[in-house]
Each structure stands twice: as structure tokens, then as C-alpha cells.
Structure 1
Amino acid sequence: MRKIYSLLSALILSILIGCTPEKKETEVSMKSTNTAKKTVVYQVFTRLFGNTNTTNKPWGTLEENGVGKFNDFTDKALSEIKDLGVTHIWYTGVPHHDVIRDYTKYGISNDDPDVVKGRAGSPYAVKDYYNVNPDLAVNVENRLQEFEQLIERSHKNDLKVIIDIVPNHVARNYEGLTNPEGIKDFGAEDDVSVEYDVNNNFYYVPNKAFEVPDFVNDYQPLGGEENALSDHKFDEKPAKWTGNGSRSPKPNSNDWYETVKVNYGISPDGKKDFDALPAGFENEDYKKHFEFWQDKTVPNSWIKFRDIALYWLEKGVDGFRFDMAEMVPVEFWSFMNSAIKMKNPEAFLLAEVYNPSLYRDYIRKGKMDYLYDKVQLYDTIKHVMQGHGLTDNIPPIQEDLKDIEHNMLHFLENHDEQRIASPEFAGNALKGKPAMVVSTTISTAPTMVYFGQEFGEDGSENAGFGSPSRTSIFDYVGVPSLQRWVNDKKFDGGQSTKEEKSLRDFYKRLLNFTIKSDALMGEYQDIHQFNRENTEGYTEKVLSFVRYSETEKLIIISNFNAENEYGFELQIPENIIKKWNLKEGEYQFKDQLYNEYSSTLIVKNKQAKIRLDVKPLESFILKLQ
């Protein structure tokens, strides 16, 4: 029997009830039908943002190392984030996940260090989807209300709110304390005598008890600190499959042992016990997808996660970032995302999908708005920043993704990746400047910035479980460059270094330009290869392309070399001269980042050239005046 809440939400939803771009030479159409201007997402690790404690003791407790709160996102803080050029804020780590801290007086059970990564816990081991991390509240009893107030403040400051949903797995000790009426916990009604049932929420290893993995490399939970529950035991019988799919009752220490895999109706031998989408349904809109599922019987886990999403939409959340979405069948996403869009057609839906062969299915069949452009643009541009990659490899990516370019969100940092300034990445935050210009301007796709990136944070702290080069998501830790900007919660950069202020100014100029530009939601053409073949002095360390609309014409060029300046006469192909309706003569172009550099495009005999002198790590966004 469907739950009362499920029936109600389905009733409400039921009441509510492409073409291929033309290619000409290297020209790619990038007109968006989804938004008039570019979107910029600011990902912030919520418990770290407002933490002003600078102790940073490895494996330090909340009392020793401090923690940020929802209330630290004041109107002043949010207005400064908005003024950076941000449209959406992704509060990472909001749903209640496992933490090693005693909250039993609030009715919250203690979490076992043997199946928790770090002391502050992984935000991707969610313990209760209908409440929020108690660490983030000033008053734990009112933690949900404090987050609701943060949503209101964010909206007041013209920021859309995104939170995580992790559909592939939940914490081993999932326990909902504040479920809405009719909602039952994951696994509460499972038949644990069998490995698989279509309506079980988990997969089981019948008659076998779970065993804590044997930890390697001298790892000890809590760094070896004594804890009553840290006994290399965790009571779970029968054992469940582990989050990454391990079927062993004793997973490996490299497995996602702190989580259990959710069953979406796929049997252990790979059989799908749910309806397939009809042929050609990738071309149908979300309303048709929603209608398709109305008379279908779907696995119980589908309903549970749909209800979770609808619950948070009702709270005012504007969108979701879906963790490891490709580990969940695309048919579920059709069901889930169409229900979300029926409630809020403007909901922002972002997913982790790392297999390029699956991109189009998850966008078109799964109705995702955006996917990470990691394995193509991010990985390629990272190599260029590190000095061993060629800019020649970037334009083919845009060609390959031209039909879905708007759906491929761009980033240079996030919680999974190394900080640009870390020695393991580029060792210098300034090497991110040309990469950011390219990343934000090469397509109509959204841009994402990770908090602290705008200050050149290097992620060097030894926090305990987390590894240096990535700001830890598992520990109580401070973020030094951010803390200097936070400046005892004045949020004014009062302690920031000159270099940090300069870098943030660059990000502010760039991001604000992108969210106002018409051309960046218009057409794109690569001119890099044309200049590699025809322009003396133009090298594989430079990248150039044009972006344009009826009202704005841009020439964008970036120098990824940290040592050499390049000077040359950049050439604009004849088809662009025609597209821009340029007659013979001279045309002034002015840089839009700093408004200091300008140059003249000379059009003569069907040729167009503009003299450019680009300093190390410098970029120009040149606009036709």
C-alpha cells in the first residue's frame, strides 16, 4: 500500500497537470532555451563557512576546532556572495548525516566510529533525510527551523538554494526521527530473509552478519582516540550490500563501508523489475514523462526518494545536486525528475555522471538539467594548467558536446577535487585565472565555484581523515583564506592578504560579466586551430574563440603560460566577418575584465587581424565597441 504522503503528493502533482544545431565549418550553435543569462553556482561546505576557529588540530573535536552554523550565513555574508556574481548557492552537507558527537539528549542516537569516516562524518552517509545536520544549528531542537530561515535569507538576497540528495546509498544506521506522517524509514518493511525483492530498499546477505573492514595503512577510527563504540564491531544482521556495490558481509576498507546500497528494482543478475521508457521517449518533455509513470507500479525506493525531494521543495529548496547519479537507473530519474519539475518547473537539477556514453541518456531520458563536465573539459584543462597539456585539446571537446553543451556544468574545484593552489594540482592559484576565463565563457553552461577558490585556498590542512590538497569534508577544520575574509564574521576581507583580495576581485569581475552577457548565451566558434595554422607566434599555450549574439560580439583569448608573454596578430576567419557584418575598416575592441586593454581589428581584403600582447596567465574578453 502506498503511503499517505505518497498518495497526497501524487494527487497534487496530477492536478498540476530539440533540434540538432547546425554546423558550419567550426561554428557551433549554443543558443539556450532554458535561461536568458548564464548561471553561477557557489558551492559552500556549510559547516566550514562560518568557522572562525584557527586551531586545526588533526582529528580535533567540534569544541577544539570549531564548526560553522546556518546562522553564520547572515544577510551581509549572503549579499557578498551574491555580489561575487552568484545566482545559486549549493549548501553542501545539509541533510543529517553521521557525526561522532553525543546528541542523545535530543533523541539522536550516537553514531559508531567504526562505520563513520572522520569525526565530523561524510555528508554522503545520510542518516535522516527529513532533518538536517545537528552540528549546523545553534539550537539543536530547532535545527530544521534554522535551515528554513537560511532558505528565506538566501531568497531575500536573490540566491536560489541547492542541497544534496544521495540516491545510491544511505548511512548504515539510517534512522528517521522526524518523518512526515505515513513515511517509514528505509528498510523498515524489507524482507531481510532474501537477497533481493523489488520492494526491498536494500540488498542483503542472508544469514551473514556485517563485519567491520580491516583497516590498512595504520588507519584507526578517530585517530586512535578511545570511544565506547570504537570496538571494531557494528551490529547489522543480516549484512547489507555496501554503497559502492560490494556484496561481501565484510567489505574492503576502500569500499564505501559507511553506507549501504539502495535497491532500485534491479536484481543481482541485472534484471530490471520496472517498466522501460518507450522508444523515442528521450524526445518527450517532463510532463509526458510524468504522465507515463502515473499508472505504473514502481519500486518502493523510487517512491521514498521522490517524497524526499518533494518534501524539500515544499521547504523552499530550489534544486538538488544528485550524488553518483549514474549508479541509479535512468528510468528512476525520469520518474523522480519529472515529479520535481511538475512541482517546480524551474528546479535546478545537477548530477554526477562521469561516463560520457551515458550523458545524453541522463539528460534526455532522465530529465537532468546539468551534469559535471569533468572527464572532458575539467580533466583536459587541468592538464593545461599543470603545464603538460595542450590547449589544442580543448576545442574538440566543445565540438563533441555541441548538442548538449548547455547541460555540461563547468568547474575547476569542488569538494572531490584538489584545490588549484595545492602542490598536487597547480601549486599557484593564479594559474586558475586563464582556466576560469575559458571555463566560464566557452559555452552557455553554468559555472560552479567552490568556496575559498576565489581566495586561492590551497587545502593544505592535515585535518585527520581528510587528505591535504582537498579541503576536508570529513573533519572539523578551518579554511584559512576564507577565515581571513570572514574576518570575525564581518565578511569584509578585513584580514585578507593583498593577493587574496586581488584574486577575489578577478573572480568578481569575471563572474559578474558572465551573468550579464548576451553573447555568452549566444553563438560560439573556435578560432584557435585557424590561428595555430596561420598566425606566427600563436602557440599551444594560448586559446582563443569568439562568442556573439545580435547585441554583443566578443573575442576571448587566454594565455596559460605562467612565464611567457605572447604577441601576435590574431586572425578572425572570413565567415565570422560575414556573420558580424563587418565591412572594410577599423573596429575597436575593449577588454571587459579590467577595462584597461584595447586593440583595433582591421578588416581588409576579406581578412581581419587584431594585434594582441598577452602577458603570462593573462586573459582578455574583448568586446566590439
Structure 2
Amino acid sequence: MKVEHLLPTKPQGKPVVYQAFTRLFGNTNTTNKPWGTIDDNGVGKFSDFTDTALQGIKELGTTHIWYTGVPHHDVTTDYSAYGITNDDPDVVKGRAGSPYAVKDYYSVNPDLADDPAKRLQEFTALIARTHKNGMQVIIDIVPNHVARNYHSLAKPEGISDFGEQDDTTVEYDRDNNFYYVVGSDFQVPLPLDGYQPLGGEAYYLSDAQFAESPAKWTGNGSRQAQPDFYDWYETVKVNYGVKPDGSYDFVRLPEQYLHHSIQQHAAFWSDKTVPDSWVKFRDIALYWLDKGVDGFRYDMAEMVPVEFWSYLNSSIKLKNPQAFLLAEVYNPDMYRRYIQMGKMDYLYDKVEFYDTLKVIMQGNGKGKTLHQIQANHQDIEQHMLHFLENHDEQRIASDDFAGKVGGAQMGKPALVVSALISRSPTLLYFGQEVGEDGSEDLGFGNPSRTSIFDYGGVPAHQRWMNNGKFDGGQLSASETALRSFYIDVMKISAFHPAMLGDYMPLNFKADQISDPQTGEVIKSVIRSEIEIETESADKLVAFVRYTDNQRVLVVSHFDQLRAINLAVVLTAVQLETLKLTSGGYLGVDLLTGTEHSLIVEEALGVMELSLEPMQSVVIQL
């Protein structure tokens, strides 16, 4: 029996972000035809996020829903009846288009509306519905690039389009929004063998031509008039006052602003002239705040200068001090700069934490490596968002990630570690909690990641949806159990007071613990009859989260096949830190209700455990 009565009833302040890919979330169509049209494969709508659906999301401890793919991006569905220009498949990825090729920042994707003419009203109704259900709303902003055919139909009076006022006779000007390949027209990339837009379907715009003169630099920085197929050819790079030689054409922030407040950053920029693109994105962000959006996820933030983020984020925080600002940054050397100088709330902890955890999940890494990463992050750990899946990463249950052995169960010990090891927020990707495997081949891109480019349904998630009832009525027993496990862990993450406390790493050694005075062996750390002790130790991650009056011991076992017996041993220094004196302490596993004893004597604390493959314990003392 789980011990939910040990948890407080209100969140303690540790955020949980649920990423819902909006186009896919509510779709009940199960056809999944490769390159299928919106009529073939169906599409999810804003209205699919009913009160029941939202409560199902909130059940996971969710504080913020990241509605992915909301700003109006290129699609191949014909909406000309609504005054929307058709998009050219030669510069659109997939049938439904990339959510990161935005063509109108002041509107939303017409695919997502029951009535495309009222698409903005339907989204603002979803914002209100989300708030009513006790959660906040995050949407994407993609400052590094926009769609090649960017054109806003809904921009407010006095706002000009990106590129509308550019001087296209020069490669660079500080107030141009784009960079230009002067004297050359854009050419569609040469396709890979076998690739055809729309899967080869005949379409009047699908002719290997796209008019753009002069050509613009491509989103990932390619300066070629004909980018490569692997370039972000559907987008164009936005100019932030960075010259082609990499030097900056704007006032730099003094180094002391690393330690200055939001108000001081805003004051610094208040009398400065900044590049036009900075102002455009500030206006976009403030527009959505006025619509009720509570925060933003910034795509590829490190491709944009830190000074811009200081300018933008201080403007946002002056308007809404509680705005949630999450950035995709992959260079660990730049983490502190984007947090302290750029005023980000949270960054992806991918390159170090996630990438290491993935290797451990796959049986090749050492658990203690995560402790080294956490030690290096102690000054910023609360800013480093943890995740196991998102739209860019492989599904845990996919063959390429988990293979045929562990499947979605491999995510269980990793979830416990990822969600509980620090004060950082946790991100869950829709369908993760029921073991979605991302195996559908829908057109553009390869399976193992649920497609973000095409129309389709998400089978395991659809079984939880149960034709719009959102009650899990079609889930298998193992899928139901997995979702229940996610709910239990995320409740601890979001609600338990110790999760806002300190972190104490515990390492297992492949030898025995001896009495520090006599040298007499008192406990074997790891006992395994099948494999050598070193391998057993490497497959364990353990730590304590604690406050003055709360202590939670977490141990996760990553071995997919073998059970182990072990002794968790706390040294005199650790006991003193945790305020544990001689005697016996009762521990209760918050996941199962199972009781465990910690015996403290002669300045050592010992708890014996037996763990099944991929089992975790979260023991409150």
C-alpha cells in the first residue's frame, strides 16, 4: 500500500512540465498512413483538451502544459478559403509541417481549430480552460529562425513583418531581419535518394522551385543559395546584429550584470538602441502574455546572443514576474551565462545529465557519473530541467533505445533518479507515461521519435484517451501500471518538501565496509551470485534528499535482468548531516508502503535492501 498520506496536499514549488504535441494529443484516428493527409490520418484540436483530459494531465503533478506547435507554421493543407496563402511543399518538412518553421507569430495553427476562422479565439479559450484546471500555459518561441515564406496576416497595427523593411542589396545590415546571398536566387536542396515532397503526390506547388531573390541564409547558418538537404532549409536565419564575421553590432552587457537583477537589466536596455529583430520578438512575447500565456520554451537559444535574452527576458519579467522561461541550450560551458546574464529560468540538462542517464539505462554507464554531474551543477541545479523524452529524443520504449529487453520499464529507475535527484523541474512528454514506442512511420523522418512533421495518431496514448474519455479504458495492464508508477513518482517530485531540500550522494563500492577503528568487516556492500560486484555497483544510483525535518533515501537499480541484495551504509559525517543518532529508524517506501529499518550504531548507519531488476525505492525515514 502506498503512503500518499505522507505527502502534503499542495505543491511545494517544484515545477512539472507536460509537453503535449497539440496536433497529435487529441487525435483518435488510428489509420497512420505514411504521408497521409489531414483527412486520411486525422488531427488533434484545441477542443480535445477537455476538463477531463486536463485533469488527467494534472494527475501527473503537472504545473505547466507546454502546448507544442501552436504558433502558425507552414502546413500543406489548403486554408486559402480563410485568406491563408498555401505553403510550398518544396520548403515544408512532412505533410503537416515543422512547428519550428513559423510563418505568422500573431496567429495559431489552423489545423488545431474546429473553425479555422476562429482559431485564435479557440486557443485563448484553451488558455482559460487550462488556468481553470490549475495549470499554466507555455508555448514555443523560435528566435533563431522563421519560415522562408514568413508573412503575418494577424499582426497588430504598426507591426511590420520580418524582412519587410530589409535592404536586400547587402549581405548584412544591423537592422535587417535576415542575411542575404546577394546576387543569387534560392535553389531547393537536392533531395536524398528516394525522397519526394508529399511522398510523391502530384501538387501544383511541388515542382522543385521556390521563389526567393536574393537567397537568404538558412536557419542553421548555411550561407549557400542552395542549402543541403540536412540543413534547416525550410527556415531562414534571423539577424540579431551579429556581423557575418561573428562580431557584435550592439552594446555589450558589462560583466557585473551577471549578478544584477531583472530590474537592472531592464533599466540597462531602456535607453539603448537595439537591432530591429530584438524589438520584433519582444513585441511577439508581450502579445502572447496579453493573451494569457504564462511562459515560453525557446528553441535553440544558444544560437542567439546572450544580450538579446537579457533584453527580452527582462521585458517579459517586468510584465509578468512569474513567467516561466525555458531554453534549449546544449553547451555546458554556456549554462551559467544564459542563466545569469540571459535571465533564463531553466535550461535543458541534456548534454550532461540526460545523455549520461541514457547510457546508464542502456547498460553501459556508471551510476556514480551522475553524482559527478550534480556536483558540478550545485550552484545552478535548480535551473537545469530534467527529462527522459521530448520531441527531439527517442522514445524510451523504441527498439533503437530500449531494444527488445527492457522496453518502457527501462524508464522507471531513470524517472525516479531524474525527477527526484535535485530541485530541478521535470518534463514529461505526452505518451511517455504509458510507454509509447514511437514506431509509426508517418512520412518525413524515421521512427523511434513520434513524428512532429506529419499527421497521425499515437497508439499507446490513444489507448489512454479511450475515444475522448481520457480514462485509460483501453490501456493494457502493464500500461496502466506504468502510468500509475509515473503518477506516484511525480507526486513525490511535485509535493514532497524534501524535494526542495539538499542532496547527498551515496556511492557503492565493490568491496566491504569496515569499522573505521578496528578494521573489522561489518557489512558487504553488494551481494550478487551471478555477476561481479563492480558491475552491480555501477548499476545503482542512490542519494538522500533532506531538509531539517525530512529525510528521503532514494535507490534505483538499473539492471534489467538480475536482482541484488545490498547494504546502504551511512558514515558518521552523513549521519551528523542528516541528524540521525544511535538507534533504529523506521523507513517507509513511498512507492509501495513497504517498511525498512535503518540501524545506527557505532557511528555507522546500515539499511539492508533487496531490489528486483529495474526496481527503485523512495524511503522516507
Instruction: Report the TM-score when normalising by structure 2.
Output: 0.94
Is the Cα–Cα contact under 8 Å of residues 36 and 455 in structure 2 kept in the other structure? yes
Find 2:434's aligned residue among 452, 455, 459: 455
Q: Is the 8 A contact 2:12 2:494 kept in 1?
A: no
Give the distance between the partners of 1:262 and 1:567, measured in 2 at CA: 56
Which shifted more, 276-285 or 194-203? 276-285
Aligned-partner residue type, residue 478 of structure 1: G
Q: How far, CA to CA, are the matches of 1:594 and 1:610 in structure 2?
A: 17
Equivalent in the alignment of 2:391: 415
Shift of 1:466: 2.7
Greater displacement, 61-70 / 78-87: 78-87
**CA distance in 1: counterparts of 2:571 and 2:201, whole angstroms:** 66
Q: What is the match of residue 532 of structure 2?
A: none
CA-CA distance at 1:80 after TM superposition: 1.1
1:131-530 to structure 2, matched below 5 A, reads 131-427=107-403, 428-529=407-508
CA distance in 2, matches of 1:472, 1:308: 27
| Partner SS state of residue 233, structure 1 | coil
Shift of the alpha carbon at 1:218? 1.4
Take 1:288 and 1:573, find their aligned partners in 2: how far apart are those partners? 46
In 2, Cα distance between the equivalents of 1:201 and 1:477? Answer: 35
- Cα pair distance change 1:251/1:569, threshold 3 Å: same
- How many angstroms does 1:586 deviate by? 0.3
Once the two structures are TM-superposed, the CA of residue 598 in structure 1 deviates from its matched residue by 1.6
Q: Which residue identity does 1:70 align to in structure 2?
A: F
Distance 1:520 1:339 in 2: 31
1:513 deviation in Å? Answer: 1.5
Which of 11, 18, 22 is 1:46 aligned to? 22
Kindly state the Cα deviation for residue 397 of structure 1 after the two structures are TM-superposed.
0.4
Describe the SS at the equivalent of 1:89: strand
AA of the residue aligned to 1:242: T
> 2:47: which partner in 1?
71
In structure 1, the partner of 2:569 is: 571
CA distance change for structure 1 residues 494 and 577 in 2, over 3 Å: closer, same or farther? same
Q: Could you say which residue in structure 2 is the equivalent of 1:13? A: none
> Percent identity over the alignment?
59
1:17-36 pair list within 5 angstroms: 36=12
Q: CA deviation at 1:255?
A: 0.4
CA deviation string 1:579-604 (max 9, x = no partner): 22222110000001121x22100000
Displacement of 1:455? 0.5
User: Is 1:90 the counterpart of 2:66 in the alignment?
Assistant: yes
Matched, 1:614 2:611: yes
Q: For residues 60 and 347 of structure 2, what CA distance do their matches in structure 1 show?
A: 23
- Per the alignment, residue 5 of structure 1 pairs with none
Query: What is the SS of the residue equivalent to 1:269?
Result: coil
- 1:37 Cα deviation (Å)? 2.6
Aligned to 1:23: none
Partner of 2:546: 548
2:228 and 2:264 mapped to 1: Cα distance?
43
Structure 1 residues 408 and 533, CA gap change in structure 2 (3 angstroms):
farther
Contact residue 522 and residue 547 of structure 1 kept, 8 A: yes
Could you say what secondary structure the match of 1:515 adopts?
helix
Q: Deviations over 1:506-565 (max 9, x none)?
A: 000110111111111101011125687742436111111111012310110000001111
Distance 1:570 1:594, change over 3 A: same
Question: CA separation in 2, counterparts of 1:224 and 1:240?
Answer: 27
> Take 1:306 and 1:551, find their aligned partners in 2: how far apart are those partners?
44
Letter matched to residue 611 of structure 2: V
Aligned to 1:61: 37
State whether residues 532 and 540 of structure 1, in contact with CA within 8 Å, keep that contact through their aligned partners in structure 2: no
Please state whether the residue corresponding to 1:612 is helix, strand or coil: strand
Q: What is the one-letter code of the residue matched to 2:136?
A: K
Q: 1:112 to 1:212 in 2, by over 3 A?
A: same
User: Gaps spanning 5+ residues in structure 1: where?
Assistant: 1-34
Aligned to 1:32: none
* Cα offset, 1:208, TM superposition: 1.0
- For residues 240-289 of structure 1, the C-alpha deviation after alignment (integer angstroms, 9 at most, x for no partner) is 00000001111011100000000000110112110000121100011100
**Structure 1 residue 576, shift from structure 2 partner:** 2.2
State the SS of the aligned residue for 1:214: coil
1:101 counterpart residue number: 77
The secondary structure found in structure 2 opposite 1:415 is coil
Q: What is the deviation of 1:217?
A: 2.6
User: 1:38, CA displacement in angstroms?
Assistant: 1.5
Are 2:620 and 1:623 aligned? yes
Rate the CA distance shift 1:531–1:367 in 2: closer, same or farther, 3 A. Answer: farther
CA contact (8 A) 1:527 1:546 kept: yes
Q: Using structure 1 for the length normalisation, give the TM-score.
A: 0.93
CA distance in 2, matches of 1:295, 1:289: 11
- For the residue of structure 2 that corresponds to 1:336, the secondary structure is helix
1:50 & 1:533 partners in 2: Cα distance? 54
More divergent stretch after superposition (229-238 vs 210-219): 210-219
Q: Is the Cα–Cα contact under 8 Å of residues 431 and 460 in structure 2 kept in the other structure?
A: yes
Q: CA RMSD in A?
A: 1.1
Do 1:466 and 1:475's aligned partners in 2 also have CA atoms closer than 8 Å? no
Distance 1:229 1:143 in 2: 25
For the residue of structure 2 that corresponds to 1:571, the secondary structure is strand
SS in 2 for 1:377: helix
Shift of 1:393: 1.3
Question: In structure 1, what residue type is equivalent to 2:598?
Answer: L
Letter in 1 for 2:566: F
- Deviation track 1:338-369 (CA, whole Å, cap 9, x = no partner) reads 00000111111000100101101000000001
The verdict on how the C-alpha distance between 1:183 and 1:533 changes in structure 2, with shifts beyond 3 A counting, is: farther
Runs in 1 of length 4+ with deviation above 6 angstroms? 530-533
CA distance in 2, matches of 1:170, 1:194: 20
Q: Distance in 2 between matches of 1:83 and 1:551?
A: 27
Say whether the 8 Å CA contact 2:509–2:537 is kept in structure 1.
Answer: no
* Structure 1 counterpart of 2:595: 598
Counterpart amino acid of residue 623 in structure 1: Q
User: Which residue number corresponds to residue 31 of structure 1?
Assistant: none
Kept after mapping to 1: 8 A contact 2:12/2:495: no
Paired residues, number? 589
Mapped contact 1:603–1:609 kept (Cα < 8 A): yes
**Secondary structure, in 3 states, of the residue corresponding to 1:311?**
helix
Q: Write the letter of the residue equivalent to 1:518.
A: P
Decide whether the 8 Å contact of 1:170 with 1:262 is kept in 2: yes
2:245 partner letter: D
